Amino acid sequence: MRRKLLAVVISMAAGIVLFRISNITAVCGIAAAVFLYFKIIRKEEYGKWLFPDGNTDQKAAAAMVVAMVLGAAAFCGQEALFQAFERLDTGQPVKIEAAPYKVYQVDEEKYRLECRVIMVDGKKPGSLWLRMAGRAWGGDRLMLTYIGELEEPASLTGCDITFRSPISKPDSASNPRCFDYANYLKSKKITHTAVCRGFIKVERPGFGYREFSRKVMMLRESFLSSLGADDETTALIRGTVFGDSHMLDEDITDDFRKNGTAHVLAVSGLHVGVLYSVYKAIEGKTGSKCLTVLFLIFLGFYCMLTLWSVSAVRASLLIAIKVIGNELDRRYDIQTALAAVLLGIVLACPWALFSASLIMSFLAVAGMSAVTGFAERHGQEVFAKVFAAQLAMGPYLMYTFSQLPLGAIFINIPVIFIISILVPLGMLDLGVFALGAGNGGVMFLALSRALTGMARILTITNSSASRVNFLAFTVPSPPLSVIVTIYLLIFITTSESFHIAFHRKNIGYVICCGILIAVSVAMTSAWSATPFDKASAIMVDVGQGDSMHFTSGKTDVLIDGGGKEDYDVGEKILMPYLLRNGRRDLDLACATHLHTDHYLGLRQLSGVYPVRKAVVTGKKGDIIKPAKDIKIKILWPVRQNPDAEDENVNSLIFKVYIKDYTVLVTGDISKEGEKMLLDMYEGTDELKSDVLKVPHHGSRFSSSPEFIRAVDPKIALIGVGKNNMYGHPAPEVIKRYEEMGIPVFRTDEDGAIGIRKEAGAFEVCTMK
C-alpha cells in the first residue's frame, strides 16, 4: 500500500466524524472495521479486493483500524474535557483572571480577545490534570468581547487581565442548518464567552514566548499604522498580508466572496507559496544552508504574524516539509505531507476537523494533488492547478455559503498575480520597518507607497470583477449527502489505486468503492436530516421580532421578517436560513404592519433574494391561496387607515390554513385590538386556531384571557430577542397561558420552532 500515512489519517478522521454523528455510530463503524480486517484483509484471497497492487499490507490495515479507534477516542476526550469545564458557566458576574493570546478589532469600539482562564473568583478551574489537559486541548478558554476603546490592543498579548463578567456558553445555531457559533469556537478550543467594558492589565515578566509574541504583534500594528494609508487600504493590507480581515469593509469582503477570491484574505498556500518562490530564487543562486534555516525560522515568524491561523500553519508546514525533504535529498509527496500536517492539527484539536477554514484549505491542496495529475494526463496542464482547486472547493462553497463562483477560475488569474507582488512587498517593507528605517526613511516610504498602491489596485480589480461577474451565482445549498457523493466520486475515481484497479479490471475493488460511497451517503443523509425538514410551519429566530415560515412542497410563504435598524436581518438571517434549507425563492412575503421588527427584514430580503409577491395591505375577507395546501385569510382590519398614528391599528391579522391545521398570526395588537376582534367575530369560530402567534411578543398589554379562550390554541409561539429592553414576554402572560394548559414556545429560549401534524397529533421541534 502506498501512502500509508494518508490512509491512517483518513481512518482517524473517519473515527472523529463517526463519533461526532453519535456514540452508537462510532461503535458500529469501528466494529465493522475490525470485522473487515479479521475476516477479509487477513485472508490473501480476499485482501486483493481492497489493495489493487496485490499487496494486502496487513500492518497498514491494522494501523488504519487503530487510527479509527484513536480518532474516536480523541474526539470523545476533547468533548469530555469541554463538558468538564462547564462549571465555569456561572450565570452570575465573577472575577476572572485570564491570559489573552489573540486580540483583534471588530469595529471602532469592539474587540475580541481569545483568552485562557487562569482563575475564577480566586480559584483555579479544575484539578491539576484538568488544567494540563485544558492547556493542550482547550476547554478552559473563553472568547471575551471588550466594548470600549483600546489604544494598543496588541500590547495585551502576553499580559494577564482581570475583569468581572458572567461566563456563559456561546450560542449554538438558532435556525436549522445555519451558522453555529458554539461549534465554530470549539474548533478554536474555546467553550465559553464573556463580555466586559473594563479590565485591569497585569504586565508579565519581560521574557519568554508570551513576551516575544507581544512584541511581534506590536511590531505588526506599528508597521500598519505607519503606512499612512486610509482605513480601507490598511484593512486590506492587514487581510491579504497577515490574514486578519476583521476590520475589512463588508462590501469589499462580499466582493471577494462573490468572485471566489476570498482565499486571499486568509494567509494560505498562495501566500506561503509566493514567499517560497522568492526563497527558491535566492537559494538557487547562493545554495546556502544558512539561508534554508533562516527561511524555516521565517515561516514560524510569519505564522506568528498571522496569529497562528490554521491555513497559515498548514501551508507553512507543507512548505517546511518540502524544504527539509530537499535538504535531506528525500522525495516529496504532497499527499503524504498533507496527511502529516492534518495529523498534527487534528491531534492538537479534534474539533478543528470541522472548521470551514481547515476544510477549504485541505480541499484546495487535496484537489490540486488528486486532480492535477488527471488533468495533466488529458492535456490541460496550463489550467490544471487553478481548475483543480476551484473544482475541489466548489461543492463545499455551495453547501456552506450557498455560492457558486464559476468565474473564479478567470478572476483568480489577475488577483493571484497582484498577490504575488503584494505579499513579498509587504514582508520586505515590514523588514525595513523592523530594522529601524520606518521613521521617515526613503526606502520605507518608497516601499509603503508601492504596497498601498498595489492594495488599491487589488481593490479596484476585485470590485470591477464583482460588478461584471455574471458567472457568480447564489444557489440553494444542496443536501449534504449530495456533496459527500461528489467528493467521494472525485477523489476515489482520480486516485492512483482506482486507476490501477480499473485498468486491471479489479471488479472487487470497484464494488468495495461503491459500497463505501453508498454507506457514507446513507449515513450522511440520516445525520444531516433535521425534524424541521418535515415541519410545515416554522417560527424563525430573527431576534427581537416576528417571522413565520409556512411551507408545502416547493411553496414558501413568509409572514413578517423581523428587523433591526443597525443589522441586515434579511441578508444575514433570513436569506441564509432559506438557502441553507434548499429554498430557491419565496412565493409570498406578507407583513402584518410596517414596524421595523416585522417589516424591515422582508424589505432587506427582497433586495438580495427572489421574492415573487409581497403583501403589505389588505382588508377583512381577503383570501390568498399560494398553494393547494396553504390558504391565508385576512381577519382584520375592516379597512386600513393611512392616517392612523399607531401602525398597530392597521395591523393585518392573518389566519393561515396549512394542510390540516390553522395558525393565527396576530402582529402587535393590544388588548383593545383583541377586543375589537372579539366583538367582530362574536358567536363564530373564526378566531379559533390550533396555533397562536402570541400578540405583541407577549407584552403585558395583550393576550387577554377572553382572547385566549376565543382562539383556544393548542400551542402558543412567541418571537422575542434575548435580553430585550421591552421586558418581553411578561411573566404574567406566560403564566396565563400555562394556567390554561397551553404550552408556550419562545425563540429566545428555544430558537426556531417547527410544527407539524402527524396522525392527528401535533409535533413540535426546537433548535435548543
pLDDT of residue 52: 58
- What's the pTM value of the predicted model, to 2 decimals? 0.90
For residue 533, the Cα-to-chain-centroid distance in whole angstroms is 21
pLDDT of residue 382: 47
Three-class SS of residue 321? helix
3-state DSSP assignment of residue 571: helix
Residue 624's Cα: distance from chain center in Å?
37
CA nearest neighbour of 323 among 277, 359, 267, 375 = 277
DSSP state of 659: T
Which residue in the block uniquely carries the three cell numbers 479489479? 506
Alpha helices (H) in 539-607, listed in sequence order: 569, 575-580, 601-606
pLDDT at 12: 95
The neighbour count for residue 749, using CB atoms within 10 Å, is 12
Q: What's residue 361's pLDDT?
A: 82
The DSSP H or E segment spanning 753 is strand 753-758
- With a cut of 50, list the residues of the chain below it in pLDDT: 379, 382
In this structure, the number of other CB atoms found within 10 A of the CB of residue 736 comes to: 19
Phi, psi of 141 (to 5 degrees): -120, 150
List for the chain the helix, strand, coil content (%; round to 5): 55, 15, 30
